[in-house]
């Protein structure tokens, strides 16, 4: 025998050893996936893909990287990617969140950001690869005589949906075929596709960022509006113009499109700069081409709330009316109209508006409560008590409701 011949690993023995661990790897992956599902929390739930490396791929990699170790005995030769899970997220912002949540819940051996070093002329998938030790609680009780190698890890890949789609296609086009690296036209096409998907991910994230900022500003504005309504007495209210004493703040949003203007207006509104907010709302309504009816209805509703905050109830009422006229499905516009009428002591009109709002959405506890107040002002105590019960049934439970309920029951001498 020629002693100069390289020793080759026994493929059959390696396969038999590897296959004996198949059930164990599958069970470990199931347990780790379950742990990930309990650990990871995102607004948009991620999807999960698990895989145990095929023997064919495992053997080729053993020959390239660990052939000497494979010749030494009958033990399992480990690779870092024998078992893996992909966590596929909707947005770029989710990747860092998931990475941190994994770091908090697992013993992390290594973190690598694939593709981060590539230039825009190159193609290749981006992904965060996290190697974690196998948690004790994820190891099955019945090992069927097998020994878990101490260096066994699970590779968790964190990607966006588009990054994962590109990785799948790239794998089919390049790694499973005889791809010619000197085929420049094809390389350019692949690089162009990769760049387009990367850009799409960035645009999706920008849209998401806009939505998050918008919801935050809307939530603050609506909460401030309700607080202001609650602070005003039904009958004895000060209708004189009140100058708000607020500090000037620069808007963090860029100016330009209607979307930018909406965010800027909401920001000024929330900071108490009502005149500025009204001016921006008006600018949107007067812009050319004229915004759609849906946009106009929403902007009129916001401007009406800004007028309300200035105690300009006539302008506020006019905007709420116009908003509901443009969009008869806007339950909030007609509800806000009813609030203004109630504050002006026109409770018959207020009850009518509250009824229209409830006809569009009958699950509004706060509207039942407001209508109950107006019924009480009209001396309709039975109707008032009935609406108050509806508000309670829908979950409204605060000190104002309890105090008002006692007031109604006092009318019936039912305490």
- Enclosing domain of residue 317: 205-235+250-361
CA-to-CA distance for 148 and 138, rounded, in angstroms?
A: 12
pLDDT at 123 over 70: no
pTM for this model (two decimals): 0.56
* Better-predicted residue by pLDDT, 230 or 244: 230
As for how many domains the chain has, the answer is 2
Q: What percent of the chain clears pLDDT 90, i.e. is strictly above it?
A: 36
Given a cut of 70, whether residue 125 has pLDDT beyond it is no
State the pLDDT at residue 253. Answer: 43
The answer to whether 364 touches 393, Cβ cutoff 8 Å, is no
pLDDT of residue 256: 55
Helix (H) or strand (E) run with residue 378 in it? none
Residues 226 and 350 reside in one and the same domain: yes
CATH number at residue 267: 1.25.40.10
Same structural domain, 77 and 135 = yes
Residue after which a domain boundary falls, among 164, 179, 194: 179
On whether the CB atoms of residues 132 and 101 are closer than 8 A, the answer is no
C-beta of residue 163 within 8 angstroms of C-beta of residue 118 = no
Within this chain, do residues 285 and 221 fall inside the same structural domain, yes or no? yes
Report the SS3 class of residue 161. helix
Same domain membership, residue 226 and residue 269: yes
Gap between the Cα atoms of 256 and 253, Å rounded: 10
- 37 and 134 share a domain? yes
- Residue corresponding to tokens 């347990």: 31
165 and 210 co-located in one domain: no
> Which residues, other chains included, contact 76 with Cβ-Cβ below 8 Å and sequence gap of 6+?
17, 18, 21, 149
CA distance 219 to 209: 15
List of residues 6+ apart from 377 with CB closer than 8 A: 234, 235, 342, 345, 347
Residues 175 and 271 in one domain: no
Backbone angles phi, psi at 219, to 5 degrees: -60, -45
Do 220 and 294 fall into the same domain? Answer: yes
- Asked whether the beta carbons of 308 and 228 are under 8 A apart, the reply is yes
Residue 407 belongs to a domain: no
Average pLDDT value for residue range 363-381: 92
**Cα separation of 320 and 327, whole Å?**
11
CATH code, domain with 175: 3.30.460.10
């Amino acid at each position: 025998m020629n002693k100069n011949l390289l020793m080759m690993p026994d493929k059959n023995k390696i396969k038999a050893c590897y296959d004996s661990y198949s059930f164990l790897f599958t069970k470990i992956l199931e347990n780790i996936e379950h742990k990930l599902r309990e650990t990871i929390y995102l607004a948009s739930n991620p999807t999960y893909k698990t895989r145990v490396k095929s023997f064919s791929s495992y053997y080729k990699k053993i020959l390239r990287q660990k052939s000497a170790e494979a010749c030494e005995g009958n033990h399992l030769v480990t690779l870092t990617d024998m078992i893996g899970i992909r966590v596929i997220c909707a947005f770029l912002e989710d990747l860092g969140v998931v990475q941190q949540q994994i770091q908090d819940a697992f013993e992390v051996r290594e973190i690598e950001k694939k593709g981060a070093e590539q230039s825009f002329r190159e193609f290749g998938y981006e992904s965060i690869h996290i190697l974690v030790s196998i948690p004790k609680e994820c190891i099955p009780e019945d090992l069927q005589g097998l020994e878990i190698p101490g260096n066994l890890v699970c590779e968790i890949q964190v990607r966006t949906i588009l990054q994962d789609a590109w990785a799948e296609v790239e794998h089919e086009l390049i790694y499973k075929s005889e791809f010619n690296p000197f085929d420049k036209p094809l390389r350019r096409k692949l690089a162009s596709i990769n760049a387009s998907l990367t850009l799409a991910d960035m645009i999706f994230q920008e849209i998401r960022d806009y939505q998050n900022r918008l919801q935050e500003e809307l939530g603050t504005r609506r909460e401030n509006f309700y607080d202001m309504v609650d602070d005003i007495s039904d009958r004895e209210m000060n209708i004189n113009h009140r100058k708000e004493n607020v500090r000037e703040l620069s808007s963090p949003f860029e100016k330009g499109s209607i979307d930018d203007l909406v965010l800027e207006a909401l920001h000024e509104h929330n900071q108490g700069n009502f005149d500025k907010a009204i001016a921006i709302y008006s600018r949107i309504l007067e812009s050319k081409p004229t915004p759609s009816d849906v946009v106009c209805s929403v902007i009129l509703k916001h401007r009406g709330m800004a007028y309300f905050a200035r105690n300009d109830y006539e302008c506020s009422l006019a905007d709420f009316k116009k908003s509901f006229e443009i969009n008869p499905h806007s339950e909030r516009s007609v509800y806000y109209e009813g609030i203004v009428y109630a504050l002006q002591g026109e409770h018959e009109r207020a009850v009518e508006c509250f009824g229209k709002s409830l006809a569009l959405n009958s699950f509004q506890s706060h509207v039942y409560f407001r209508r109950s107040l107006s019924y009480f002002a009209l001396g309709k105590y039975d109707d008032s008590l009935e609406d108050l019960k509806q508000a309670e049934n829908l979950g409204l439970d605060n000190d104002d409701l309890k105090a008002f309920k006692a007031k109604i029951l006092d009318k019936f001498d039912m305490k």
